[in-house]
Chains A and B, each alone.
Chain A
Amino acid sequence: MSELIPQLTQQLFNGLSLGAIYALIAIGYTMVYGIIGMINFAHGEIYMIGAYVGLVTLSALGVNSGLPLPIVILVMLIVAVLVTGVYGYATEKVAYAPLRGGPRLVPLISAIGMSIFLQNWVAIGQGARDMAVPALVTGSVQFQLGSDFVVTAPYSRIMIIVVTVLLMIALSLFIKYSRIGRASRACSQDLRMANLLGIDTNRIISFTFIIGAMLAAVGGVLIALAIGKLNPFIGFIAGIKAFTAAVLGGIGSIPGAMLGGVLLGLAETFAAAYISSQYKDIVAFLLLVFILLFRPTGLLGKPEVEKV
């Protein structure tokens, strides 16, 4: 019994750090869906590319560059964010913008094609196999709760949680108080109306893709540092799970994506710990099916009424 609390605390911590990553990726899905009603299938790949760009940047700086660690990580993040911003902008302009307004199946298939293209783009460019990421952030906080069980909180994972929380706050403030943020909200409520009111919807859509990409990139870099390896196909599963998180929280709602991410991270961690670690991926899929069947608008979403 005295083991339970520390064990739960450990799982709670693990779940939160996992959930933070899902939240970062989920925001990209939810923002894009909220504005143009499309699932950006290739978004998971953007996350993956962010991780790779981080690694390339690190390799460019050199592991023993002598620069202080926070600076190195900051540079990795900034470069990854900038590059994936371009990726996000370019994929939207090339593969989605020309197809807006047509039958819904078409941009979806295009997105799938984009996703496959990007996976193999990286696989050919950097190799399809697992690639090791130098362990920059080592060490952990350890504390004893109760009897013998020691709760271990690796710094790399604490970093994930802290950075994510900061970014969430920054994003919320930005969306709430900036002009682009307001325009963005208007677009997600009623795109046509926003257009008629003079908002440059193309720019807002691009902005949405870029912001989503940037957040996913941060997630990619941080998880690569925490896990220590990456490959071109990590975006696929992470993408599906992050989408599940977005739906769980209420698709189109940014707070929903944050909430959904955290909940999914916790659910998956607890399932892996207490049910079976082999089947933990199935948790996300089953959760997705259940939400879509019983509460498709998610936890924070508004019920939609079909216009007849």
Chain B
Amino acid sequence: MNLQGDKANVDFGQGVLREVNVSLVEAKVGDYVLVHAGYAIQIIEEEDAKETINLWNSILEAGQ
């Protein structure tokens, strides 16, 4: 991602680039963002994504 004012070039994967408005989040270059209808609505931390797996495991274990 690179930034210019409220606009950022976001890599959607496999080389797909699109300009996205980032005024709803505090984004910096290199962040992962969740994009809805051309606007980033949340920043996703890779660590948080990994945490999800831990969350699942803990919930499943607690059910035993």
- A and B, one complex? no
